[in-house]
């Protein structure tokens, strides 16, 4: 076999120059010009940086696209977005009946260039003969997903990087059901994206007749439907503290609370307005340590019953509760899920009910479902799979009532079929209000769940290694499982190839799982145990991580 080398410096400079000439944005072009000049001048690291920027094509997966905004085929910019839109358009024309006339509905958040990426998507699709419908201004992802089925659109696109760092932007695609795409659709779209030259994608005129602008009626209709998630509407509200985390959910959630019969939440003023630079948080994710600090200060000052946080595109929900010593405790994603499941299963009826969670979320949901005599399902990691299960089970008479994943994703309505941090916040406010009306705290609600089913403990650990190395590690565990982890015997090993996940069950039912991240250069480890010291579960996860080096 003849060995081949990577691109030469001349090749890289030629590619970069062609991109410079095609780049429609002055700032991105200037960035690329500076890199090219530095490479030509022999500045240290410049050629390597250019090579990394053009090392391939930013891959489109089930999470769509996500990367730092910048110049190059491996970054988020208008040329990359145009190529992705063209691939999506070709897939729609090939795969979805009447896609051209049904059209694609598009929305965006407040991150850098989100508005341009959304408009370019509309212009590319219009050039392909596909009707496009743009939401006005910035919109939460749940509003976009909710509007897809209402408009009978063939698909939806939202430009957002969700809870990624401030430098990033992204691109999510939704199916006609309002659920995110799943395999093999991602592969099919990716293959079509590769058929287009990103420097020569046709775009329609800005005033093309196939580009239409929606009014505010779809946002208003979404807000009007939010009260439907309430199960005890007679219960008066309590004081709720809230942060939009510089995202786009703040104005919508205030209107949703009013529509649901609650007072608007007390907000973190410094984080209420959309701001894609995220000036008060380095990582705008409610799961990150410190991200909710300003919220907890606001909650304490307001004497709130619960503190709620959306991520920047408002499809996730974080929560914290007061503690007896006057402090506040951030709830895990599973704890929020348990509270919601307890409330929903306790205030609905019917043996046709269905609850769904993911492989890496707590197994307690299945036990709660069994106690209520309802169906439960465990599916792959990623909320798109929960939407898929809900759709499939409806065909056999199962009625979806709740789905969640531990990464702060919750679906408490039958539309859209995706995580929704706004309606989840309305329901969480009702859960807090009901507890207060009955003279108990949310911690006491959790304690009651533990008294009935056992005290479930969950933990997570991330190991920063490339996904390819993580995938190899998972394969090695599958092929040659360890006899013990941290002194506890490994009793069984289960593989889930579709999720790139391996599960180890240790003595006393301790469950450890390993999965490479689909969006970041790290491997995630998950632990769960019942009636076990949390410190011991953390120790076992650390021992599992250490086993990679041994």
Quote the pLDDT of residue 3. 39
Confidence of residue 128 (pLDDT cuts 50, 70, 90): very high
Of residues 368, 332, 372, the one with CA closest to residue 352: 372
Asked if residue 5 has pLDDT above 60, the reply is no
Three-state DSSP at 259 gives helix
Average pLDDT over residues 125-149: 97
Residue 24 structural domain: 1-55
Q: Using CA atoms in the order 523, 529, 534, 538, what is the torsion angle rounded to 10 degrees?
A: -30
How far is the C-alpha of 18 from the C-alpha of 64, rounded, in Å?
25
Instruction: Quote the number of domains for the chain.
Output: 5
Residue after which a domain boundary falls, among 191, 215, 239: 215
User: Stretch 92-99: mean pLDDT, rounded?
Assistant: 97
Q: Are residues 97 and 44 in the same domain?
A: no
- Residue 475 CB burial class (10 angstroms; 0-12, 13-18, ≥19): middle
In sequence order, what DSSP letters do the residues of 181-242 get, joined into one string? Answer: P-TTHHHHHHHHHTTS-TTS-----TT-TTEEE--THHHHHHHHHGGGG-S-TTSPP--EEE
Using a pLDDT cut of 70, give the percent of the chain over it.
98
162 catalytically annotated = yes
Q: Are residues 483 and 516 in the same domain?
A: yes
Q: What is the mean pLDDT of residues 356-360?
A: 97
Looking at per-residue pLDDT, the higher value among 381 and 539 belongs to 539
Strand, coil or helix: 262: coil
- Predicted pLDDT at 317: 98
Among candidate residues 162, 179, 332, 361, the one labeled active-site is: 162
Mean pLDDT of 388-410: 96
Residues ≥6 apart with Cβ < 8 Å to 435: 305, 441, 442, 444, 445
Domain boundary among 189, 215, 241: 215
Same domain, 259 and 125: no
Q: Let me know whether 65 and 167 are in one domain.
A: yes
Residues 346 and 440 in one domain: yes
Q: Please give the C-alpha separations between residue 74 and each of 59, 60, 80, in angstroms, as whole numbers.
A: 8, 11, 8
Look at residues 432, 453, 474 and tell me which one is the last residue of a structural domain: 453
Q: Given a cut of 80, is residue 549 above it in pLDDT?
A: no
Gyration radius of the chain over CA positions:
24
Return mean pLDDT, the chain: 95
Same domain, 98 and 186: yes
Q: pLDDT class for 35, splitting at 50, 70, 90?
A: very high
- The predicted pLDDT at position 337 comes to 98
Q: Is the separation of the CB atoms in 248 and 312 below 8 Å?
A: yes
CATH code, 263 = 3.40.120.10
Identify whether residues 347 and 401 lie together within a single domain: yes
> Is 90 exceeded by the pLDDT of residue 7?
no
For residue 550, the model assigns a pLDDT of 59
Same structural domain for residues 446 and 471? no
**Alpha-carbon gap, residue 24 to 13, rounded angstroms:** 19
Q: Are residue 472 and residue 371 in the same domain, yes or no? A: no
460, 527: one domain: yes
Looking at the fold, whether 210 and 234 belong to one and the same domain comes out as no
Mean pLDDT, rounded, for 332-361: 98
Sign of the torsion angle spanned by Cα atoms 385, 387, 389, 391: negative
- Within this chain, do residues 271 and 125 fall inside the same structural domain, yes or no? no
């Amino acid at each position: 076999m003849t060995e081949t080398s990577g691109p030469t410096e001349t090749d890289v400079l030629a590619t970069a120059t062609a991109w410079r000439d095609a780049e429609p944005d002055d700032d991105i072009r200037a960035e690329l010009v500076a890199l090219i000049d530095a490479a030509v001048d022999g500045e240290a690291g410049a050629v390597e940086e250019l090579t990394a920027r053009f090392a391939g094509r930013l891959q489109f997966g089930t999470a769509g696209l996500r990367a730092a905004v910048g110049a190059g085929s491996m970054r988020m910019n208008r040329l990359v977005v145009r190529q992705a839109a063209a691939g999506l358009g070709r897939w729609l024309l090939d795969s979805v009946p009447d896609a051209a006339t049904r059209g694609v509905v598009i929305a965006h958040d407040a991150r850098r260039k989100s508005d341009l990426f959304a408009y370019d998507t509309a212009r590319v699709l219009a050039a392909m003969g596909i009707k496009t419908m743009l939401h006005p201004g910035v919109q939460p992802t749940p509003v976009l997903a909710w509007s897809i089925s209402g408009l009978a659109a063939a698909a939806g696109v939202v430009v957002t990087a969700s809870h990624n760092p401030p430098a990033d932007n992204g691109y999510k695609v939704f199916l006609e059901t309002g659920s995110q795409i799943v395999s093999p659709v991602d592969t099919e779209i990716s293959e079509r994206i590769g058929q287009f030259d990103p420097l020569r994608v046709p775009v329609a005129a800005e005033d093309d007749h196939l580009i239409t602008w929606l009014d505010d009626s779809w946002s208003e209709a979404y807000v009007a439907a939010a009260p439907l998630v309430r199960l005890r509407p007679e219960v008066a509200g309590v004081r709720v503290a809230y942060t939009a985390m510089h995202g786009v959910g703040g104005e919508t959630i205030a209107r949703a609370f009013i529509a649901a019969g609650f007072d608007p939440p007390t907000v973190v003023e410094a984080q209420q307005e959309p701001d894609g630079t995220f000036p008060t948080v380095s990582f705008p994710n409610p799961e990150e340590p410190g991200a909710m600090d300003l919220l907890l200060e606001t909650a304490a000052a307001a004497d709130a019953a619960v503190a709620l946080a959306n991520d920047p595109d408002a499809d996730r929900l974080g929560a914290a509760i007061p503690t007896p010593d006057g402090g506040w405790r951030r709830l895990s994603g599973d704890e929020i899920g348990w509270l919601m499941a307890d409330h929903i299963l306790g205030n609905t009826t019917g043996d046709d009910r269905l609850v769904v969670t993911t492989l890496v979320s707590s197994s307690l949901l299945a036990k709660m479902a069994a106690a209520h005599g309802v169906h439960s399902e465990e599916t792959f990691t990623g909320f798109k799979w929960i939407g898929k299960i809900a759709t499939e089970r409806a065909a056999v008479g199962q009625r979806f009532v709740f789905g969640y994943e531990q990464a702060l994703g919750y679906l408490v309505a039958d539309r859209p079929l995706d995580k929704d941090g706004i309606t989840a916040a309305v329901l969480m406010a009702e859960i807090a209000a009901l507890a207060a009306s009955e003279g108990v705290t949310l911690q006491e609600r959790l304690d009651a769940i533990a008294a009935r089913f056992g005290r479930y403990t969950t933990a997570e650990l991330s190991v920063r290694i490339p996904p390819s190395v993580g995938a190899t590690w998972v394969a090695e565990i599958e092929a040659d499982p360890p006899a013990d982890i941290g002194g506890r015997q490994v009793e069984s090993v289960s593989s889930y190839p579709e999720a790139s996940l391996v599960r180890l069950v240790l003595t006393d039912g301790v469950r450890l799982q390993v999965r490479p991240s689909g969006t970041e250069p790290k491997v995630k480890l998950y632990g769960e145990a019942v009636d076990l010291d949390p410190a011991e579960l953390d120790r076992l996860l650390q021992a599992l991580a250490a086993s990679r080096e041994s």
